[in-house]
């Protein structure tokens, strides 16, 4: 009952499937309250039936800023506060850098970046007003490293990381925490047709893309149902991390990537320094 007394109110985008659905259900199960949003409110009916007044289901397309502001405000007014705001909505664009059209890249950023920003900008005045809160952004291990064929998705996560890191410094004085959640590979619906869009292919990349796709088939994936307790530890601690690797595989991958980068920079250090000049 101790948790009930200190229960949190969550606002979660993309709550109809994947991590969003699992985390919404887990938060409600532990006695918290959740404003669960999705493009189709009907997809949230099971949460409504299961948890009644503890859940508020809202239709939300994050690419519509006015709808975002309405939903965030409605959630705040309904529950009286917002403790945890999770930007989870997003998708991946499959296609090489040459293949994807400008319109496809623009649409990707409309959801993954501008949709995220709309939620943050709608929530910040309310979080300041109540004296604090916690913004969580669902990024990826691919916010630090890249893969071919999904380069534009990776680029959206690199931008996502930079935005949240700057945001964390800007809102710290208001008592607002920011945490970037960086999942590795998980067995969620993220690989489904609903979470993937495909650019028109060029024949010259067909073999390369097949090899890439085949290489992913044997990748070990984490169990998304094992993640809620880690998330609870992050939102319940007084000093949450700015970045958090979700799963066991990212750290070794990131260590190798950063070691290679530092090695390259160091090997070119003499040339780099020669370009500094001296204005004294």
Q: Does residue 92 carry a catalytic annotation?
A: no
* Upper half-sphere CA count for residue 268 (Cβ side, 13 Å): 7
Catalytic hit among 153, 155, 156, 186 = 153
The answer to whether 153 is a known catalytic residue is: yes
Q: What are phi and psi of 122, to 5 degrees?
A: -75, -35
Please give the backbone phi and psi of residue 107, each rounded to the nearest 5 degrees, phi first. Answer: -65, -40
Catalytic residue chosen out of the listed positions 92, 109, 157, 186: 157
SS3 57: strand
CB 66 within 8 A of CB 115: no
Q: Is 71 helix (H, G, I), strand (E, B) or coil?
A: helix
Whether the CB-CB separation of 88 and 12 falls below 8 Å is answered with: yes
Alpha helix positions (H), the chain:
2-5, 18-29, 45-51, 65-79, 102-109, 116-130, 151-171, 206-216, 228-236, 250-267, 269-274
One of 16, 21, 92, 139 is an active-site residue; which one? 139
**DSSP conformational letter for 248:** S
Annotate 151-193 with DSSP letters as a single string.
HHHHHHHHHHHHHHHHHHHHHGGGTEEEEEEEE-SBSSGGGSG
- 50 catalytically annotated: no
Residues carrying an active site annotation = 139, 153, 157
């Amino acid at each position: 009952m101790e948790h009930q007394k200190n229960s949190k109110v969550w606002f979660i985008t993309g709550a109809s499937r994947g991590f969003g659905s699992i985390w919404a259900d887990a938060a409600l199960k532990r006695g918290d309250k959740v404003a669960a949003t999705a493009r189709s409110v009907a997809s949230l009916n099971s949460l409504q039936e299961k948890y009644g007044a503890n859940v508020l289901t809202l239709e939300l397309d994050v690419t519509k800023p006015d709808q975002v502001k309405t939903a965030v405000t409605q959630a705040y007014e309904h529950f009286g506060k917002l403790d945890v705001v999770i930007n989870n909505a997003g998708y991946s664009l499959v296609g090489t850098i040459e293949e994807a059209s400008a319109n496809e890249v623009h649409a990707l950023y409309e959801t993954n970046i501008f949709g995220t920003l709309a939620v943050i900008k709608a929530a910040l005045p309310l979080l300041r007003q109540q004296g604090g809160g916690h913004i969580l952004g669902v990024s990826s291990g691919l916010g630090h490293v890249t893969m071919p064929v999904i380069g534009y998705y990776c680029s959206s996560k690199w931008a996502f990381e930079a935005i949240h890191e700057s945001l964390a410094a800007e809102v710290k004085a208001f008592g607002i925490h920011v945490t970037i959640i960086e999942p590795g590979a998980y067995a969620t619906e993220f690989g489904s047709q609903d979470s993937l869009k495909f650019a028109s292919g060029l024949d010259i990349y067909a073999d390369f893309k097949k090899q890439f796709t085949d290489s992913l088939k044997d990748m070990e994936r984490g169990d998304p149902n094992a993640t809620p307790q880690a998330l609870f530890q992050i939102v319940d601690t007084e000093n949450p991390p700015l970045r958090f690797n979700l799963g066991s595989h990212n750290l070794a991958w990131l260590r190798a990537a950063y070691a290679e980068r530092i090695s390259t920079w160091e090997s070119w250090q003499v040339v780099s320094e020669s370009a500094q000049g001296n204005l004294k």
